[in-house]
Amino acid sequence: MSVTAESTTDLNRTRFYIDGQWVAPRGTETQVALEAATERPLGVAALGTETDIDAAVRAARRAFDEGPWGRATAAERATVMRRFADALAARGGDTAVLVSRENGMPIALSNAFNGDAPAGLLRMYADLAETLPLEEVRPSPSGSTVVRRQPVGVVGAITPWNYPQVLAMMKIAPALAAGCTVVLKPSPETALDGYVLGDAAAEAGLPPGVLNIVVAGREAGAALVSHPLVDKIAFTGSTAAGRVIGAECGRLIRRCTLELGGKSAAIVLDDVDLDTFVAGLDNACFQNNGQTCTVQSRILAPRSRYDEVVEAVARYAGNVTVGDPLDPDVACGPLVSKAQLDRVLGYIDLGLRSDARLVAGGGRPAGLSRGWFVQPTVFADVDNRERIAQEEIFGPVVTVTPYDGDDEAVRLANDSEYGLGGSVWTSDEERGLAVARRVRTGTIGVNYYLQDLGAPFGGMKSSGIGRELGPEALGNYLEFQSVYASADQLDR
């Protein structure tokens, strides 16, 4: 399937999924979703107001306090979650195509993260829910203590546009497994695909109010964060927005999980196998057209092999196929929007005006006058203190900086306010692991970088608070209660 000028607007989503029904919005604001590769209308979506958010939260509160979900057994919840997974899997191929049209994600990546991963996460957390002990009896000085795990309550989930389906499910799946109810606020930049989750939830028979979906902008998102009936916020997005959300949750004494920005480093050691490094550049440094918070957009190269590394990265970037994200041979699609294109081009201009050396890309690709495309771009000789080496660009732009010795490489890698991803490239894995353990970051790979959905994910420093994914994520959605009882409970 390819993107054409005949792309239609039959994907309109002008209702919100609230309390198990598709309901009319309280306001009148809408947004035309434009196809990233053609700039043509893809569909129209309603944008929610604070009143819509309030209705969704109240539905979630009723479902938690009065409905069956919070009182259901883990096995009962798991059964519904697996039906939800089946419904999503049946739509997975179409969903992946829709997301690629919305945000420019190459289709192979979209198939994995928007088509397959959401159903996989639901199944994983359904399994975990069935094996998690909800009560444990411990001896105490006065008899016994029953330690209980309880769902935290109503969860407000706020998700970005770059990996919209999987990032939503990284919050929804553990929340449902724990017995929570959810209000999801997807990003307006990808306003259409979020409602696929509502279609699948309705088909799977999730009880009314367990999952509610309202696409909305910042003001409505702020209303979700501060709503008095919300117990926890799970947010993925920019560090700037995360600071505001974290401050509000602190004021309200409200739980929050924040997965924020990154400016990660790929440390190339002097014994690197360059073929291995170049083969990993797509996932590590250029994934999703650079629209990935974990990309290692700072490449640190040993001075003894610096020219080799620069030449290899420049050659790779110059050979990347840029074009229609639905073409399986395309490795770099367009950016999500005109605003994002302007942001990335602004950083490229900043690099061109610095002392850095442009060795690949640097502008719009020839022959692609429509769509928000930018060439994969590489700057060499970049001082790590430069803005293009310190600020998150969120496009296919990488910098290369020389270093002398492993200690300086680690120092440069850690010389960032962020700590989300990273990689080390070497022919000696033990040496690579030793270097990786010294980098202050939440995730890091040795000779590859590929996120493991079964392991905890999150950031250090300004890259966030808390962890998602893996069994550890269930703890984000559980409260502990200690019940002091007699010693008779120890024998039961």
- pLDDT for res 76: 96
pLDDT tens-digit profile of 129-184?
999 999 999 999 999 999 999 999 999 999 999 999 999 999 999 999 999 999 99
Q: Would 2 be classed as within a structural domain?
A: no
Grade residue 215 by pLDDT with cuts at 50, 70 and 90.
very high
Grade residue 6 by pLDDT with cuts at 50, 70 and 90.
very low
pLDDT tens-digit profile of 219-252?
999 999 999 999 999 999 999 999 999 999 999 9
Grade residue 462 by pLDDT with cuts at 50, 70 and 90.
very high
Q: Would 9 be classed as within a structural domain?
A: no
Under 8 Å between Cβ of 348 and 377: yes
Q: Would 52 be classed as within a structural domain?
A: yes
Distance (Å, whole) CA 356 – CA 392: 17
Summary mean pLDDT of the chain: 96
Q: Would 271 be classed as within a structural domain?
A: yes
Do 309 and 408 fall within a single domain? yes
**Buried (b) or exposed (e) across 200-209, using 16+ Cβ within 10 A?**
bbbebebbbb
Do 69 and 176 fall within a single domain? yes
189 closest CA partner among 262, 238, 246, 249: 238
Told to judge if 259 belongs to the known catalytic residues of this protein, a careful annotator would answer yes
pLDDT tens-digit profile of 259-312?
999 999 999 999 999 999 999 999 999 999 999 999 999 999 999 999 999 999
Token digits of residue 410: 């680690």
C-alpha dihedral over 432, 438, 442, 444, to 10 degrees?
A: -10
- pLDDT for res 9: 38
Q: Model pTM?
A: 0.95
Please give the residue range of the domain that contains residue 48.
16-260+463-481
Token digits of residue 379: 């700057």
Do 49 and 189 fall within a single domain? yes
Q: Would 11 be classed as within a structural domain?
A: no
Q: Count other Cβ atoms within 10 Å, centred on residue 484.
A: 11
Q: Which amino acid is at 291?
A: Q
- pLDDT for res 5: 29
Instruction: List Cβ neighbours of 36 (8 Å cut-off, separation of 6 or more).
Output: 101, 102, 103, 104, 325, 333, 334, 335, 336, 337, 371, 372
172 closest CA partner among 88, 294, 50: 88
**Buried (b) or exposed (e) across 235-249, using 16+ Cβ within 10 A?**
bbbebebbeebbeeb
Do 302 and 249 fall within a single domain? no
- What letter does residue 206 receive in the DSSP assignment? P
Does 10 have pLDDT greater than 80? no
Grade residue 3 by pLDDT with cuts at 50, 70 and 90.
very low
Number of domains comprising the chain: 2
Distance (Å, whole) CA 73 – CA 46: 36
Indicate which CATH number applies to the domain containing 470: 3.40.605.10
84 closest CA partner among 50, 119, 55: 119
- pLDDT for res 70: 80
Indicate which CATH number applies to the domain containing 395: 3.40.309.10
Catalytic residue among 259, 391, 430, 479: 259
